[in-house]
Structure 1
Amino acid sequence: MFALGFPAAAFGTNCYVLAPAPGQECVVVDPGIGVEEQLAEVLAEHGLKPVAVLLTHGHIDHVYAVTPVCGGTLAAYLHADDRYRLKDPLGTLDPGLVNMLEQQFGRTATWREPDDVVDLHDGDQVALAGLDFHVKHAPGHTEGSVLFELGQVPDTLTQSPETEGLDRTTLSGDVLFAGSIGRTDLPGGDDAAMRRSLREVVLPMPDSTLVLPGHGPATTMRRERTTNPYLQGLDDQGRPHA
């Protein structure tokens, strides 16, 4: 599997491109703010043709470029519980933040929904570009946050003691980061739901899982299970022990 990630122009959101190999069809995951030019360069350099866009959740920093990337021909895949967020994500932002983005990019911020949006649900199996994605609903950061799981790892994965034995990949969006988790204090966030997701969805993932998060560096489930403070001491109700 070919996998490449790069940060968007704002908020450090990771945009990923996944394909069976260079020169083939690919899937774009979480095209955030200002990614269009760099994404076009990545696609051209590796001879990739996008066939769909996957969204881990509906926050603006993960979906801002979804419509231009889809281009009226590709479908965007998003959990049904976050579908409403594509109607007017700019309307949920503080006016000062919108003004900052407009100053940074030198143009008025606009929004249009993608023409084709496919609703995802927990347990869905989605076959795209020769890859099989397993959808796991993990609410807490947003109502419709999901993990996308694949039963393989990138061919270019650097071999080291840290990566030895890895045999699967999870795109974790803003549910799980290296050493942290997504915040739950934004509209639609739910701390209790996040704790349940950590206990019931994240913790059962095998140690052999490569984790590609929505922000920050890649990590592994082996590392997070032993070092991530938000995963330590979760009891049967998903509450951290004191």
Structure 2
Amino acid sequence: MLIDTVEAAVFGTNCYVVAPQAGAECVVVDPGVDVADGLAGLLARHRLKPVAVLLTHGHLDHTYSVTPVCGAHGVAATIHADDAYRLRDPLADLGAPLRAALETTTGPVTWRDPDDVVTVTDGARIDLGALTFEVSHAPGHTEGSVLFSLAQPTGPDVLLSGDVLFAGSIGRTDLPGGDHDAMVRSLRTRVLPLADDTQVLPGHGPATTIGRERATNPFLLQLQR
């Protein structure tokens, strides 16, 4: 399995590229702010061809570059049905301070939604060449936040956790569409049952494992008391 990362120019969002190997078809996950050039270099370096863009949720820091990336490769953007509305106007969720912070790097922000959007629901399986992702609906950070699980033929499973689970923390629930009670349910029913050796690739910050988070993450420890 080949997994590589481009960090966005703002907010430290991780844009992941997942492929079975170099020289193969790949999936791009969460193309954030100004990742297009870095992503193009990564794809060329590994000789990869994107066949889809997967979005863990609809916040702008995870979707900023979705339209140019999808357009450059002629692929669809895939998002949970409950967050699809965010692709029509993700700027609406930005308060003045966040927008100002973004525009210091990008200049004035405009938006055009992707031409091709595929919506998924809980339990969906996304078959993309040699890769099969399972969708777990995990609301709380947003209404349509999801976990993308990827089983490996050998070795531990991979979990693309978006802003549901981080190393040592969890996603905030105080933004529009956030719901603390829903986040607690998602952590209890979607995250804690996973195998300890599951590799977690979060939307921000370093990679971790379910076992490490089960043992040290204060939010998960609280749910296990």
TM bin (shorter chain): over 0.9
Measure the CA separation in 2 of the matches of 1:79 and 1:118: 8
Measure the CA separation in 2 of the matches of 1:173 and 1:99: 24
Q: Give the Å deviation of 1:129.
A: 3.4
Structure number having the greater helix percentage: 2
Q: Give the Å deviation of 1:96.
A: 4.2
Deviations 1:43-97 (A, max 9, x none): 0111011111000000000000000000072100000000111111112212343
Which residue number in structure 1 is paired with residue 62 of structure 2?
A: 62
The structure having more radius of gyration, on CA atoms, is 1
Which residue number in structure 2 is paired with residue 181 of structure 1?
A: 170
Which residue number in structure 1 is paired with residue 183 of structure 2?
A: 194
Q: Give the Å deviation of 1:232.
A: 1.1
Which residue number in structure 2 is paired with residue 104 of structure 1?
A: 105
Secondary structure at the residue paired with 2:16?
Answer: strand
Which ranges of structure 2 fall in alignment gaps of 5 or more residues?
none
RMSD: 1.5
Measure the CA separation in 1 of the matches of 2:94 and 2:40: 27
Q: Give the Å deviation of 1:101.
A: 2.5
Native 8 Å contact 2:10 2:105 kept in 1: no
Native 8 Å contact 1:27 1:129 kept in 2: no
Native 8 Å contact 2:76 2:118 kept in 1: yes
Deviations 1:114-146 (A, max 9, x none): 011111100000011320000000000000000
Q: How many residues align?
A: 224
Which residue number in structure 2 is paired with residue 84 of structure 1?
A: 85
Secondary structure at the residue paired with 1:144?
Answer: coil
Measure the CA separation in 2 of the matches of 1:103 and 1:180: 27
Deviations 1:146-185 (A, max 9, x none): 00001128x9xxxxxxxxxx51100000000001100001
Q: Give the Å deviation of 1:110.
A: 1.1
**2:223 matches 1:234:** yes
TM-score normalised according to structure 2 size? 0.95
Native 8 Å contact 1:57 1:173 kept in 2: yes
TM-score normalised according to structure 1 size? 0.89
Which ranges of structure 1 fall in alignment gaps of 5 or more residues?
156-165, 236-240
